Structure 1
Amino acid sequence: MILPLLIAAATPEPSPSASPEALISESVITEGIKVTNKALIYGGTAIAIYLVLFILGRFFKRRFQVPLGWFYHIFCLTFALFVAQMLPMIDFGVAEEHVNAAVVLSGAFIVITLLRHYFVAIFGRGDGMNAKVPKLLSQLVSLVVFLFAFVIVIQNIYGQPLGGLLAGAGVVGIVLGLALQDTLGNLFAGFAIYFGGQFKPGDWLKVGEEHAEIMEVNWRSTRLRTCDDIYLDIPNSNITKETVTNFSHPTARHALRIEVGLDYDVAPTKVRKVLVEACLMGKGVLAEPAPAVFLKEFAASSITYDLKFWIEDHGCFEEILSSVRTNLWYALRRHNISIPYPIQLETQYVPAVQPPDCPALIKDGLKKVFFASVLNDGQKTYLVDHARVVSFGEGEKLIKQGDAGSSMYIILEGLADVLVDIGGAIRSVAKINPGECIGEMSLLTGEARSATIVALEDTTAVEIDKSVLAPIIADSPELVENLSDLLARRRLQNEGVLSESTNSALLAEKQQDYQSNFLRKLRKFFEL
C-alpha cells in the first residue's frame, strides 16, 4: 500500500488548459518517472534479497563448512530477480522465463553441492562420515538432479512438449549407443558393482592371479592396488565377467591353505600336532577358529597334507604365508619329519653343506648343565648319544608359560627372550645367551613352564628330554638322592640363603626340607 501512494505522490497532475504539445511532454515525463520508480523499487528489492541470501550463505559456510562456491552467488542473484519481478507493479514479459529458468538451473547446482557435502550420511555405506563412497554414485545423483531441473525448465517454464525432443533424442541415443557401446557397458557394470553390494572400496579381491584392494569404483572402471603398490585400472564390464574372490565379504576373517608333502614313515596324528603348533606361532594367524590339518592325498613319494588356518588382514597375506612356512620348516626339522624329494632315480644325496657334528656339540653343551657334576662318564656318554640338537627360527617359541614340561634346552647359538605373563601383561624379564640353560626344573620334576622363551634370532640348542634321562635314573636309583640334594642347594642359592644366613642349624633344616620335597617330586615324575 505504501509503494503505490509514493508513486502517485511523485506523479504531477496535468493542467486542463495545457496545449497538446505540453500534454505529450508531460506524458513522456510521467512515464519516465514511473519507469525510474519501478527500476528503483525492483533494483532495491533485488539487492536486499541478494544480501539476505548472501549473509545466510556465509553463515552456513562457516557453521557447517558447506563449499557453496560461485554457483551460490549466481543463484542468489537470479533468485533475487525472480522474487523482485513478482511485485505487482513490475512486468518483464518474455524476460521472466529466462530468469525463472536461470533460478531452476542454478538451484540444481546448489542441490548437487549440498548432496555431495552430505553424501556419505545420506547414501554412504560404512562407518559414518568416514565411509568411502564411489564417485560413480555421486556423479549419478548429480546427473539425475540436473536432468530433473532441465525437464522442469523445458516443459514447465518454456512450455515446450518433450515428445518431439525425446524422439530426436532417441535417434541421437541410438547413434551414441552404437558408438559408445563399451563405455555404456562399463557404466551399467559400474552400477551393478556398487548397487549389487558385492564390492566396495577397501575390500581385498582376487582378480585372475592378482590380489588387490579396491581403491575406487567410477563410471568407467574399477581401480585396485596390489600388494606391490601397483595400481590396476580394470574396465567395469571386464570385472563383472571375471570370477572374483572377495576376501573382505561378508567379514574380513577368512581361511588360507598350505599344502605340504611329508614322509610316509611319520604317523598322521603326529604330523597334525606338529603342523598346528607351528602354524599358531605364525605372524597374523588367528587362534580361533583353530588351524586344521587334512590328509589330502597318498602321492608317489609323500603324503600330502592340507593345512588350513584363519587370518583377518589379507593385505599381509604374503608375510603371513611366509611366516607359517618358515615355522613349518623349523618344526619339521626338530621332529625329524622330512619333506621327501620326488623319487625319479635312486642316487646318493651328498649335501652341499655338511651337517654339524652333533655329538661334539652335545658334549660341549653338557658342560653347562648344573647336574652334570653328579653324572659319571658312562651316563654322560649315554646323554651325548641320545640327546639331540634342534633349531628354532626367529620368532618361534622354545617353551610356553603354563605348559607341562619334560625337557630342557642348552643354548648353543642365538639369542632368546624370556617373557612372563603377569596379570595379562606380557613383560620381557631377561635374555638367554649362548651357554645358558632353560627348563631344568621341568626336566627333573615335571613342573609347568614358568615363562615363555621366544627366539630373537635363529637359535640352535641341545634338547634333553625325560625319555633320555629316565633310563639313566632307572639304572642308578642313588642318582635321585644326589639330584635332590643338588636341587635343594640350587634353590637356596637362588633365594640368597647361603650367603645371608649365619644360623647353620636353620640352614640345614631348610635344605633338608627342600631336599625331601625334590626327592618326592623326582620319584613321582620318574615313577620310581
Structure 2
Amino acid sequence: MQTEMLPVFVTVNLLGVVGIVVWHLQGRSRPTARLIVQIMLFLAMTAAVVLAGRNPFQYEAPHIGGSGTLVVTAKILWWTHLAWAAIGFVRIYIVLDGRPKEARLLQDLIVALVYLGVGLSIMAFVFGAPIGTLLATSGVVAIILGLALQNTLGDVFSGIALTLGRPYVIGDWISLPEGTEGRVVASNWRSTYLLTSSNNLVVLPNSVLAKQGLTNLSKPDEAHQISLTVHVRAEHRPSVILDTMQDALAGCNSVIRDPAPSVSLRAINAAYTQADLLFHVPGPSHRNPIRNEVIEMVFKHCRANGVELAMPPNSSYLVNAAEPASAGRAPSLVDEGEDTGLELAKSAKVRSFAKGELIGTEGSGPDGLLVIRTGIVELRRGTQVTRLSPGDVVIGSVLSDNAGVDEVRAFTRVTADEISPEALEQMMERNSALMESLKARSGTSHSITPAPSPDTAGDNARPDFAHAVRSLFRRDAAEAG
C-alpha cells in the first residue's frame, strides 16, 4: 500500500513546493490572486491525501525508509498550506472590509494564533508528540510569567484595546479627569506620550488610559466650549446684567460665532449675581488669548453701563465717597487723565445711534473722532468684520478713499462722543502724549488698519493712526480755506 501510493505522496510534495514558491513570488502586493492560487493548490493537495487514504488529523507511525519520509513531509506541507489559506482569508477579509490601518494589529494576532495552532497540530498528528503534557507545562510557565509581568502585560493589552478602539490618534488633543491634557505625539503598545501646553512631555501607561475616561478635544474638531464666571453686585437688575454680558461677548472678535456665545445667570443672593459666559474657541491653544479678550470686553462693557463687579467673599473694600465715578465726563475718556478727560468731555458732542443704523460708508463718515461710550460698532471690509467696544475709537478718515473700510454700522444701540478736529488739535498741542494714548487705545481694540493701495503697497504707505488723525486737520483746513 505504501509503495502503491508513492506517486501520490510525490505529487503532494511537489504541489507543496510549488505552493511555497508561488507564495513568495506573488508577495503581499496581490493578496487576492495569492489566496486564489493558494486555495487551488491546497484543494489539490487535499484531494491527493484523501485519495491516498490518509487522514491528516490522525497520527500514523511512519515506516522507516523513503516512503515514510514522503508521508511525513506531505503532511507537514498540507498543514502549512492550510495555515496559509486561513491567513489569506484573514488578509482578504480585512482588506475587503475596509478596516483602518490600526486593525493590522488584530490581523497579526490572528495570524500568530493560526501559526501556533498549526505548529501544535503538526507536533500531535505528524510526530505524535504528547501536546497535552506540553500544554500543561506551558500553562504553568505562562502563569509564572503573567504574575511577574502583570503590569507590563496590562499595558500591552490596554495598548491593543486602545489601538483597536481608536479613541484618539496621533495629533489629537486629549484631556484626562485629573486635569492632565496635551496633544498625543506618540503611542506604542505600552505608553502614550502627551505634549502639554507648557511644553512638557507626559508619559502615560496605557493601562491608566484604558481604566479612566478621557475627553478628546479634537473630535469632531478642535473647536470646543469654555466658560467664564462673573460675579456682579446684587444691586443691578438681572436683565441689565444679562444685556451687558451679551454685549461683552458680541464685542469679542476672536470667539466663534457659530454656535453663538451665550450667557447663563446661574445664581443670585444678597451679595452678587453669578453669570456664566459660554463661548467656543477654535482650539486649545486659543483659550488664553480669547479668554483674555473676553475679560477685557467684560470690563469695558461693565464700566460703560455702570455695572459693578462684586467683591470676593470674606473680603473688605472701602469705597471712597469722594470719587463719584468721574462725573461730568464720558467713561470712555477717563483713561486720558483728570484734566485731559474733563476737557475732552466738555468739547465732545454726544451722539446716539440705533441698532443697525449706518454710521458711515466709504467716502463719507463722521467729521472728527468718535469715542464709543456704550454699545458695539461694527466695521466691515469686504467679508471681514471687526467689532469695536466702549473706549474704542473710530476716526472719520477711516472711511476716506483707499482706507479699506466699506462701512461702519451700529451693531447694538450705541452712544458715542464726537470730538471735532479743532478741539482734538488744540488738546494735542498742549498734551503731546494724547496722540500716543489714543493710538494705543485704538490698537488694543482690534481696529481695522486701512489696507494699502496696490500702487503704494511696496512703499510702506499704510496709513497709521497719527496719519489718519492729521488727515482730519488737513481736510478741515482745506474746507475752511
TM (norm. structure 2) is 0.53
Number of aligned positions between the proteins: 356
Q: CA deviation at 1:120?
A: 10
User: Does 1:321 find its partner at 2:307?
Assistant: no
Cα distance in 1 for partners of 2:98, 2:318 equals 71
Q: What amino acid is aligned across from residue 356 of structure 2 in structure 1?
A: D
Q: What amino acid is aligned across from residue 292 of structure 1 in structure 2?
A: S
Which of 170, 176, 190 is matched with 2:145 structurally? Answer: 176
Which of 325, 339, 356 is matched with 1:403 structurally? Answer: 356
Q: What amino acid is aligned across from residue 360 of structure 1 in structure 2?
A: T
User: Does 1:449 find its partner at 2:418?
Assistant: no
Alignment partner, residue 521 of structure 1:
none
Which of 268, 272, 279 is matched with 2:238 structurally? Answer: 268
Alignment partner, residue 167 of structure 1:
136
Cα distance in 2 for partners of 1:186, 1:138 equals 19
Report Cα offsets for 1:353-387 as digits up to 9, x if no partner. Answer: x94236735755xxxxxxxxxxxxxxx94846x78
Alignment partner, residue 92 of structure 1:
70
CA 1:162/1:274 → structure 2, altered by over 3 Å: closer, same or farther? farther
CA 1:261/1:361 → structure 2, altered by over 3 Å: closer, same or farther? same
Q: CA deviation at 1:115?
A: 7.4
User: Does 1:123 find its partner at 2:76?
Assistant: no
Contact 1:253/1:310 (8 A) holds in 2: yes
Contact 1:104/1:149 (8 A) holds in 2: no
Contact 1:108/1:146 (8 A) holds in 2: no
User: Does 1:212 find its partner at 2:182?
Assistant: yes
CA 1:289/1:53 → structure 2, altered by over 3 Å: closer, same or farther? closer
Contact 1:101/1:157 (8 A) holds in 2: no
User: Does 1:148 find its partner at 2:114?
Assistant: yes
Contact 1:412/1:459 (8 A) holds in 2: no
Contact 1:203/1:246 (8 A) holds in 2: yes
User: Does 1:344 find its partner at 2:324?
Assistant: no
Structure 1: gaps spanning 5 or more residues: 1-38, 69-74, 125-131, 365-379, 389-398, 440-446, 462-492, 494-528
Contact 1:411/1:437 (8 A) holds in 2: no
Cα distance in 2 for partners of 1:276, 1:119 equals 53
Q: In structure 2, the residue corresponding to 1:224 is in which secondary structure? A: strand
Q: In structure 2, the residue corresponding to 1:305 is in which secondary structure? A: strand
Cα distance in 2 for partners of 1:295, 1:451 equals 23
Contact 1:274/1:332 (8 A) holds in 2: yes
Q: CA deviation at 1:344?
A: 1.4
Alignment partner, residue 237 of structure 1:
207
Contact 2:174/2:183 (8 A) holds in 1: yes
Alignment partner, residue 31 of structure 1:
none
Cα distance in 2 for partners of 1:120, 1:336 equals 67
Q: In structure 2, the residue corresponding to 1:308 is in which secondary structure? A: strand
Report Cα offsets for 1:272-316 as digits up to 9, x if no partner. Answer: 223223324545533344322222344676432111223464454
**Larger deviation: 154-163 or 192-201?**
192-201
Cα distance in 1 for partners of 2:351, 2:381 equals 28
Contact 2:267/2:274 (8 A) holds in 1: yes
Alignment of 1:372-387 (within 5 A): 381=346, 383=348
Contact 1:405/1:449 (8 A) holds in 2: yes
Alignment partner, residue 260 of structure 2:
290
Alignment partner, residue 335 of structure 1:
305
User: Does 1:356 find its partner at 2:336?
Assistant: yes
Alignment partner, residue 279 of structure 2:
309
Contact 2:159/2:189 (8 A) holds in 1: yes
Structure 2: gaps spanning 5 or more residues: 1-9, 53-65, 324-333, 361-365, 387-391, 400-406, 413-440, 448-474, 476-481
Report the aligned-residue RMSD: 5.8
Alignment of 1:425-504 (within 5 A): 425-426=383-384, 436=396, 449=409, 457-459=443-445
Alignment of 1:21-170 (within 5 A): 56-57=26-27, 61=29, 92-96=70-74, 122-124=98-100, 133=102, 138-156=104-122, 158-159=124-125, 160=129, 162-170=131-139
Q: What amino acid is aligned across from residue 457 of structure 1 in structure 2?
A: G
CA 1:438/1:363 → structure 2, altered by over 3 Å: closer, same or farther? farther
Q: CA deviation at 1:140?
A: 3.9
Contact 2:192/2:205 (8 A) holds in 1: yes
CA 1:48/1:123 → structure 2, altered by over 3 Å: closer, same or farther? closer
Cα distance in 2 for partners of 1:47, 1:191 equals 36
Contact 2:155/2:207 (8 A) holds in 1: yes
Contact 1:253/1:311 (8 A) holds in 2: yes
Q: What amino acid is aligned across from residue 316 of structure 2 in structure 1?
A: Q
User: Does 1:255 find its partner at 2:214?
Assistant: no
CA 1:161/1:286 → structure 2, altered by over 3 Å: closer, same or farther? farther
Q: What amino acid is aligned across from residue 337 of structure 2 in structure 1?
A: D
Q: What amino acid is aligned across from residue 111 of structure 2 in structure 1?
A: V
Q: What amino acid is aligned across from residue 380 of structure 2 in structure 1?
A: L
Contact 2:123/2:131 (8 A) holds in 1: no
TM (norm. structure 1) is 0.49
Aligned-pair identity in percent equals 21
Q: Which has the higher helix share?
A: 1
Cα distance in 2 for partners of 1:168, 1:47 equals 34
Cα distance in 1 for partners of 2:96, 2:282 equals 26
Contact 1:214/1:225 (8 A) holds in 2: yes
CA 1:267/1:205 → structure 2, altered by over 3 Å: closer, same or farther? same
Cα distance in 2 for partners of 1:214, 1:238 equals 15
Q: CA deviation at 1:259?
A: 0.5
Q: In structure 2, the residue corresponding to 1:290 is in which secondary structure? A: coil
Contact 1:119/1:138 (8 A) holds in 2: no
Q: CA deviation at 1:332?
A: 3.1
Q: What amino acid is aligned across from residue 449 of structure 1 in structure 2?
A: R
- Where relative contact order (Cα < 8 A, 6+ residues apart) is larger, the structure is 2
Contact 1:214/1:224 (8 A) holds in 2: yes
Query: Which of structures 1 and 2 has the bigger CA Rg?
Result: 1
Cα distance in 1 for partners of 2:410, 2:263 equals 30
Q: In structure 1, the residue corresponding to 2:153 is in which secondary structure? A: helix
Cα distance in 1 for partners of 2:122, 2:279 equals 64
Q: CA deviation at 1:328?
A: 2.7
Q: In structure 2, the residue corresponding to 1:232 is in which secondary structure? A: strand
Q: In structure 2, the residue corresponding to 1:122 is in which secondary structure? A: coil
Q: What amino acid is aligned across from residue 182 of structure 1 in structure 2?
A: N
Q: CA deviation at 1:338?
A: 3.8
Q: CA deviation at 1:93?
A: 4.6
Q: CA deviation at 1:267?
A: 3.0
Report Cα offsets for 1:244-269 as digits up to 9, x if no partner. Answer: 34445677664321111234444322
Contact 1:259/1:305 (8 A) holds in 2: yes
